[in-house]
Amino acid sequence: MNDATSPVHPPPVRGQVFRFATIGVGSTLAYFGLYAALRTGIAAQPSNAAALLTTAIANTAANRRFTFAVRGADRVVRDQLGGLVAFGVALALTSGSLALLHALAANPSRAQELTVLAGSNVLATVLRFVLLRAWVLGLR
């Protein structure tokens, strides 16, 4: 597709990975900050869901523009819906990890929670890149 919303040729994967990682680091730091702030007043699972959803929407918009070089409003809703599917995968991974931690440790520290969340976010990030690349660029 050759219009203002799609690149004529997808950007090289190496550059995409670099930009995705850069955006991901910022998103992860924002996620951890939001999680830690929310966790002072509410339980682990709602804190995780709220922090993850907030950062997922911004992350998808940034990746659409900077990682995959797609601009304009055309397909933005579809791309954000794809980002929300990736959010669902990440939420399942992080929520499952938190549930396992809380099953194994009666009262885990915030540092333990953040460590477990960091590990599950690594896998979620790899899956997010694959899913977003396919949806945003229409690659199969």
- Residue 1 pLDDT level (bands cut at 50, 70, 90): very low
Q: Please write the tens of the pLDDT for every residue from 27-62.
A: 999 999 999 999 999 999 999 999 999 999 999 889
Q: Is residue 3 included in any domain, yes or no?
A: no
Are the CB atoms for 27 and 52 separated by under 8 Å?
A: no
Q: Is residue 100 included in any domain, yes or no?
A: yes
Q: Is residue 66 included in any domain, yes or no?
A: yes
Number of domains in the chain: 1
pTM assigned to the model: 0.77
Q: Is residue 85 included in any domain, yes or no?
A: yes
The pair phi, psi for residue 11, each rounded to 5°, is -60, 155
Q: Is residue 18 included in any domain, yes or no?
A: yes
Best CA proximity match to 93, nearest among 63, 60, 109, 116: 116
What pLDDT is stored for residue 3 in this prediction?
45
* Mean of all residue pLDDT scores within the chain: 86
Residue 106 corresponds to which tokens in the numbers above? 């009666």
Q: Is residue 51 included in any domain, yes or no?
A: yes
Domain that holds residue 127: 13-137
